[in-house]
Structure 1
C-alpha cells in the first residue's frame, strides 16, 4: 500500500525554502574577537490536531492536542499520535487528513487514492483527521492526554495500569540483535540527520532492521514528536505492527516513548541517553528489549539481555 500523508524530510533537500529551518544573523565570539555571521535555527511552531468523528448525521469536531513541533511531516505526526494513543488501529480507520483552514483541495488527502508528498506551508498549523463512522473514540483517554508527562505527577503504578487497558496483547519477543550491530546504530542515525547538521537542535528517531539497516528517520524539536512522525509514517504505509524492528532514540527513553514503541509493536528500543525507571518497568512488563546510554564502546541493557548476541559475559 502506498503511503498517504505528509511530505518526508528524507525525500527532499534542505534548502532556503525549507520551513524546518530559519536563518538568523548572530554575533560569533572567539576569545575576545567578535564578528557577525549567519546561523541556522531549528524552527518551532504550534500544531493543533483536530478530530472529526462519530456516526453519519451526528459528527463531532474536537481539538485533542496542541504541540510545539518542527514544521513538516505534520500528517504523520498527527496520525502517529492517534495510533500510539490507541485511537486508530488500522490505516482504513482514517477517512481523510487535511489542513482545514486553507480551502485548497491540493492540501488534503483522501484515503481512497493515497496521495502523497504534500507541500508544507508555514500557515498550516492545524491538521484535521476525519475518522470513519464506525471508529469509537476514547474521549476520556484523550482528555487525560494519555496518563503522564515527566512533570504531571501521576504515579507509575497508575500509568502502567492505564497502559495495560489499551496496549496490544503481549507477544513473545524473538527479535535478536548482534552486539556489533548495536554499536553502529547511533552513527547511522547521526549521519542521516540532515536538519541536525544545519542546526544542532533537533531530536532524531530512527527505525532499523535487526541487521542495522536504517529504514526510516524523522527529526523534531520534540522527542515525542519525532517518534510520532516516524511511527505515523509506518502506520500510513500499512507497515504496523513493527515486529522485528529497532527504534533508536537520540535522547533519553521516557515512559511515553516506551508506550509509543509498545503500541506500534517495536521489539527493541535503544537510546543514546538514560531510561527512566518507569520506562524500564514498561520494557519488563511487556518484554521489550531496552538499551540505554548507547555510546561508541559501551551501553547498558535494562531488559532482554539474552536477545543481544555476541557478548562475552562476566561478573565484573
Structure 2
C-alpha cells in the first residue's frame, strides 16, 4: 500500500458547532496514469491507484475484448523509466482493434466508445447458475470492509471482491476507480490461471453499466453492490442473465434481475 497512499499532509479541520479550527493530518490516495502499450501500436492511458498494475493490465485487456485469455499474451512487462507503464505483446488473432479514446479517467471506463449499444448486443448471456444463500450476501460487506486497508487509510478508494458459490471472499482489490478495482480482481484470476465464471462480484459503490459489461465478459452470474444500480445496468443485467443486487447492507437486499439464483 506504500505507493498507493501519499504520506499524511497537514489540513485544517472545522467541526460542526465549533468555532475552533483544529490542525490535523490526513493521508491521500494516489492517482496516477498507467500507460499500457499493446503490440507497440496502440496505447491506453488509465488513471488508477498504483499497485497491482499487472493485474489491472490483464483485467483491462480482457474486459475490453482485446484478449480472450492469457494464452494470447506473449509478453507483459513493466516499462523502464520514470513514468512507468506496461508493455504487452499479443498473438495476432485477427480480432479488430477496440475503438475508444486512448485516455481513460478514474471515473469512467466507457469514455470514448463509438457505439454504446453494441457493447450489450455483442455480449453472450452468462450461463453459470449457482444458487446463492441470501444470508451469505448479508455477510459479504463485513468481510470486505476488513480487507479495505486503503479505504481505512484515506477514505477515498473503491473496492471490489470476488466471492465463490460458498460465499467465501477469494480476492479483494481497491482503487480510486471502480472499474479499475474490478479489472484488478479479474486480472488476478487471469494471471493465476484460475477460473472466472464460478464467481460473483461485490462492489463497494453503485453498479453502473460498465461494471455489468465487465462482469459479463468474465462470466460472473452475480453482481452485488452496496449502493443502487443505474437503469442501464439493470437493463444489461436482465439481458445478460446476471443476477443484480443492490443496497446489500444491513438486513435488506434489493434484487433487480434474475432473483432465481438467490435462495432463502
Same fold per TM (> 0.5)? yes
**Aligned-partner Cα distance in 2 for 1:136–1:307:** 37
TM-score (norm 1): 0.75
User: 1:69/1:50 Cα in 2 relative to 1: closer, same or farther (>3 Å)?
Assistant: same
Cα deviation per residue 1:62-100 (whole Å; 9 max; x = unaligned)? 21x212110111111111111001111121211111222
**In 2: Cα distance, 1:92 partner to 1:284 partner:** 31
Query: 5+ unaligned residues in a row in structure 2: which ranges?
Result: 103-107
Q: Indicate the residue corresponding to 1:117 in structure 2.
A: none
In 2: Cα distance, 1:95 partner to 1:231 partner = 19
Deviation at 1:154, TM superposition (A): 7.7
Q: 1:43 aligns with which of 30, 36, 54?
A: 30
Q: What is the distance in 1 between the residues matched to 2:53 and 2:99?
A: 19
Could you report, residue by residue, the CA deviation over 1:87-142 in whole angstroms, capped at 9, with x for unpaired residues? Answer: 1112121111122234xxxxxxxxxxxxxxxxxxxx4542111113x333422x23
> RMSD of the alignment, in Å?
2.2
User: Is the CA contact 1:45–1:125 (under 8 Å) kept in the aligned structure 2?
Assistant: no
Runs of 4+ off more than 4 Å: 149-155
Instruction: Point out where structure 1 has 5 or more consecutive residues left out of the alignment.
Output: 1-13, 53-59, 103-122, 311-316
Shift of 1:35: 3.3
**Cα deviation digits, residues 25-55 of structure 1 (max 9, x gap):** 2123332223322211111111111111xxx
CA distance in 2, matches of 1:249, 1:173: 19
**Map 1:1-316 → 2, pairs under 5 A:** 14=1, 18-23=2-7, 24-30=9-15, 31-52=18-39, 60-63=40-43, 65-102=44-81, 123-132=82-91, 134-139=92-97, 141-143=98-100, 159-165=116-122, 167=123, 169-240=124-195, 242-310=196-264
| Contact persistence 1:97–1:128 (CA under 8 A) | yes
Bigger Cα Rg:
1
Give 1:252 deviation, angstroms: 0.7
Equivalent residues of 1:98, 1:128 under 8 A apart: yes
How far apart in 2 are the matches of 1:101 and 1:127? 9
Any conservation in 2 of the 1:270–1:294 contact (CA below 8 Å)?
yes
The aligned length equals 256
Q: Secondary structure at the match of 2:142?
A: helix
Q: TM-score, normalised by structure 2?
A: 0.89
- Which residue number corresponds to residue 115 of structure 1? none
Larger strand proportion of the pair: 2
